Amino acid sequence: MKYTTLPNTNIKVSKICLGSMTWGNQNTEAEGHAQLDYALDQGVNFIDTAELYPVPATAEMSGRTSKIIGAWLQKTSHRDKVVLASKIAGPGDYTAHIRKTGFSPNAIKEAIDLELKRLQTDYIDLYQLHWPERDTNRFGVRDYKYDDNWKDNFNEILHSLDNAIKEGKIRNIGVSNENSWGTMRYLEESKKHDLPKVITIQNAYSMLTRTFETDLAEVALRENVGLLAYSPMAFGVLSGKYIKGNAADNARLKLFPRFARYSGEQAADATRRYLEIAENHGLTLAQMSLAFVNQQPFITSTIIGATNLEQLKENIDSIHVELSYEVLEQVDKVHQEIPNPAS
């Protein structure tokens, strides 16, 4: 395994982070525990969850993923061996079953306290805002529409998170599904008012979604805010199993076809071309896709997810793959001709 540190801290994390959002829905508790055991054995010490997991989010299953992780921590006594990241759900119809109060001080306090209970731990190493409270571009939305009903509360949010840090409940903070303006506003408030600094941003990043490179990459590198890349395999599309027609019946897009962000014609065309590049260089598409993300200079860790141990093994092994200049050049050529087909 390769390691780095969470920006502005001395917390060592693996460059591969174990995602968990299928546990409790597509995966049983026993399967989640088996993944945790295997990943830890391979040197993965970074685990990411969220209060709304598993996905798709429902009132019946909300928080089940974190409970599975908590049961594993209780059973194994491995809390000191792992770095835990979790998130408070943003507002919207999708999360109305959790709360309708956004990132108010009481909401943040409640969310942290409930998550600590589910995880059966006293502290969370990295606590993230799952998506912005204001309406803005996220989850592949391209066209920005101005929302004049939103009231600026960056300072209030940072003060609430600062209180949780002082109480010892969380150690560091991050954002997710955020854009450049939002990230810089948090950084500005933290500098101006001596409040906790956002140290990570968890956004989608893959060969099919490289919008992070347009301006957020500069923010990340100049402000030392590390990217935790989620969906590096584009919901499994970049394994090649869908265009090859050999996806299992329990594959994510077969079970939940409404998650169609990576399923358009342009994305399929780009994926076919990426598959050809991988095969011409003796790689699997999954290996090439993950290695591409792992090698980016703004990456702190790549969040992988799997529904079985065979997938998990291949994904973790990608850390040992180093893409040549020739491969990267060919990937960039496809990107120039079909830029961000799933942005």
Q: Are 323 and 292 in contact (CB under 8 A)?
A: yes
Residue 270: Cβ-neighbour burial (10 angstroms; 0-12, 13-18, 19+): buried
**How far apart, in Å, are the Cα atoms of 110 and each of 47, 64, 89, 164, 322?**
22, 17, 12, 11, 43
**How far apart, in Å, are the Cα atoms of 195 and each of 68, 80, 107, 165?**
33, 27, 19, 10
Neighbours of 107 (CB within 10 A): 20
Is 262 marked active-site?
no
Q: Are 322 and 294 in contact (CB under 8 A)?
A: no
Distance CA 99, CA 62 (A): 11
Q: By C-alpha distance, which of 126, 43, 31 is closest to 72?
A: 31
Q: Catalytic one among 3, 38, 53, 230?
A: 53
Distance CA 326, CA 316 (A): 23
HSE at residue 35, side-chain half, CA atoms within 13 A, is 32
Please give the full DSSP string across 163-226, using - where no structure is assigned.
Answer: HHHHTTSEEEEEEES--HHHHHHHHHHHHHHT-PPEEEEEEE-BTTB-GGGTTHHHHHHHHT-E
14 pairs with which residues across the strands? 3
φ, ψ at 54 (rounded to 5°): -80, 165
**How far apart, in Å, are the Cα atoms of 308 and each of 28, 99, 156, 250, 251?**
11, 32, 42, 11, 11
Instruction: Report the catalytic residues.
Output: 53
